[in-house]
Amino acid sequence: MKQMLRRIGYLVLVLGLLAWNLASAEAGAKRTLKLGTILPADNILTQNAQEFAKKVAERTKGEVEVVVYPNSQLGNERDLLEGLQLGTVEMAEVSGGVMSTFAPEAGVFSLPFLFQGWDHLDKVLKSPAADKLGEIVLKKTNVRTLGWMEQGFRVTMTVKKPILSLKDLEGLKIRLPEDKVLIRTFQLLKAAPTVVPWGEVYTSLQTGVVEGMEATTPAIYTMKFYEVSSYLSETNHQHSVVGFLISERVFQSLSKPAQEAVLQSARETMDLNYREARGTAQKSLDLLKAKMKQSTAPDLQPLQAAVQPVYKELGDQTGTQELIRQIQGVR
């Protein structure tokens, strides 16, 4: 009997040590987080993501490795957002417009002419209104917003004719992302919106599937869309706000120190992005102008007047009237 008790005691001890070793190994195991973006490696947002990866590796002493996959290697923005929900992608950079297909309230950041310049944009993205939007997205999608990134005000590129006034937009087959607010904006401008995946924009311009496209100047320049377009118009109709995202399931699976490392690294990355974005946007605008047959700066007041209905429509549909007012009132 004593021998049996000793054997049982020994077995319990061995099992206990085994469990402890497994737990220790799990706690100390290296975690690799895939971070997807549709943008090329030399785009500012991809570069910011790489800086984030370095900061996380340093803070966790290699416990967490973030691997950045540029150029839509992990799919388009919808694929990335779905991957975050399914657990096939751990992190991603996704535009607010595409986020709105999963959480309609995120469409607020797609409203045309919402931001009154770079200074207003900086303040909004650091405000309680931006935090509130992140909370809504988390509740609806189980995806955590670590920060909101800047890339630039969006301009319009066309193949055959310049845009000199509102009338030049009428009937224009323009490529747009899967962004309901942006689509509605160009419908109000009487254009003909056509949704085309980012990776197919170049050939769509080249083959005439679309007659124009719009995006930020860094994105246009790094994707070389100037090779298949002749005219640039500084419509500045929207600022491209991009969510810096992590799967909430993945975030909660990290150790507490690793979570804090991710949060702190994200805060520093947002600060870096805000310092660099406007300079990068201006530099790429200058480079684009040098390559264009013609660049124009149309009177924006008629465009602003034409798109006003989208504010009430979105506010009524999503219950974000007060949030919109808060953003407009940020000083």
Per-residue model confidence (pLDDT) at position 28: 53
Cross-sheet strand order for the sheet of 91-95: 64-69, 31-36, 91-95, 242-247, 143-149
* pLDDT value at 272 more than 90: yes
Catalogue all structural domains in the chain, each as residue range(s) with its CATH number: 30-152+240-283 (3.40.190.170), 154-239+299-329 (3.40.190.170)
Q: What is the mean pLDDT of residues 11-22?
A: 35
Q: What is the mean pLDDT of residues 261-288?
A: 97
Counting residues of the chain whose pLDDT is more than 90, the rounded percentage is: 90
Strands 242-247 and 143-149: antiparallel
* pLDDT value at 301 more than 60: yes
Instruction: Write the CA distances from 274 to 51, 70, 241, 278, integer angstroms.
Output: 14, 21, 11, 8
**Bridge partners, 64 (sequence order):** 31
Give the containing element (helix H, strand E) for 44.
Answer: helix 44-60
Characterize 44-64 residue by residue with b for buried, 16 or more Cβ atoms within 10 angstroms of its Cβ, and e for exposed.
Answer: bbbbbbbbbbebbbebbeebb
Per-residue model confidence (pLDDT) at position 23: 39
Residue 40 tokens, joined: 């090329």
Amino acid (one-letter) located at 106: A
DSSP code for 113: T
Per-residue model confidence (pLDDT) at position 27: 47
- CA atoms of 209 and 205, how far apart (whole Å): 6
Amino acid (one-letter) located at 271: D
* pLDDT value at 236 more than 90: yes
Instruction: Write the CA distances from 322 to 316, 319, 325, integer angstroms.
Output: 10, 8, 5
- CA atoms of 10 and 142, how far apart (whole Å): 45
- CA atoms of 126 and 123, how far apart (whole Å): 5
- CA atoms of 307 and 188, how far apart (whole Å): 6
* Residues 226, 230, 231: CA angle, nearest 5 degrees: 100
Q: What is the mean pLDDT of residues 188-193?
A: 98
Q: What is the mean pLDDT of the chain?
A: 92
Q: pLDDT band for 15, please (50, 70, 90 cuts).
A: very low
Q: pLDDT band for 240, please (50, 70, 90 cuts).
A: confident
Per-residue model confidence (pLDDT) at position 24: 36
* pLDDT value at 264 more than 60: yes
* pLDDT value at 6 more than 90: no
Residues 6+ apart with CB under 8 A from 51: 269, 272
Per-residue model confidence (pLDDT) at position 137: 97
Q: What is the mean pLDDT of residues 293-321?
A: 97
pTM: 0.88
* pLDDT value at 19 more than 50: no
Per-residue model confidence (pLDDT) at position 29: 73
In the block, tokens 């309901």 appear at 180
- CA atoms of 241 and 281, how far apart (whole Å): 13
